[in-house]
Amino acid sequence: MAQGSDDIQALIALMARLPGLGPRSARRIVLQLVRKRSQHMTQLAQLLDRVAINSRECTICGNITDRDECAICTDPARATGEICVVQDVADLWALERGQAFKGRYHVLGGTLSALDEIGPDELGIPALIARIHGENISEVILALNATVDGQTTAHYIADALVDSDISVTGLAQGVPIGGELDYLDDGTISAALRARRRL
């Protein structure tokens, strides 16, 4: 096993555990990084260090940011009265790539799941409802995955807002069943958002 040093071996093993990579991809990436270390490696190491130290969740919406409150929550132009509820930060990023939504977000961090004993409190749904009432929100868009748990969560939130004047909508049909937003192309996400329907 004379493949580089022990540290290089450890780096390959770590890289191979990342999503989308396996041992072969990890070896190729590490070899390329070592060969081009003056170009990429130092910068990569510095960025990893900074991101590791500074990354945190936005205290308002749950987006990943390097401040207490993210750039979307602090942008006055995004106070449109619309709030889009997503399951994961990856979904928020997918919607931002589509550039079709101009309001603000709320990241649940999961879905209700009887099997995994994840209830409304674990997902912070009471805090979400309080946020919706506190921010003068006129429309809540539930951009949750088309899985059973995703739809159960959507209906739970819609029920909690049923006695208010707030319009509750969901993404249009066309989002594949069980599909996650992050896997859709930007045009499909934008189209699903534009053609949203009342729940």
Q: Which helix (H) or strand (E) holds 57?
A: strand 56-57
Stretch that binds Zn ion, among 3-11, 54-62, 142-150, 156-164 (CB under 5 A): 54-62
- Selected from 11, 15, 60, 168, the binder of Zn ion by CB under 5 A is 60
Q: Which helix (H) or strand (E) holds 139?
A: strand 139-143
- Selected from 15, 63, 137, 150, the binder of Zn ion by CB under 5 A is 63
Stretch that binds Zn ion, among 1-9, 65-73, 94-102, 117-125 (CB under 5 A): 65-73
The reply on whether position 12 binds Zn ion by CB under 5 A is no
The reply on whether position 89 binds Zn ion by CB under 5 A is no
Handedness of CA 177, 171, 184, 73 (dihedral sign): negative
Residue 163 C-beta: closest distance to Zn ion, Å: 27
Backbone torsion region of residue 151, taken as left when φ is above 0, otherwise alpha when ψ lies between -120 and 50, otherwise beta: alpha
The reply on whether position 58 binds Zn ion by CB under 5 A is yes
d(CA 187, CA 176): 14
Structure tokens at 26: 């990890």
- Which residue's CB is nearer to Zn ion, number 63 or number 111? 63
The reply on whether position 107 binds Zn ion by CB under 5 A is no
Q: Are the C-beta atoms of 121 and 162 separated by less than 8 Å?
A: no
Chain positions contacting Zn ion, by CB under 5 A = 58, 60-61, 63, 70, 73
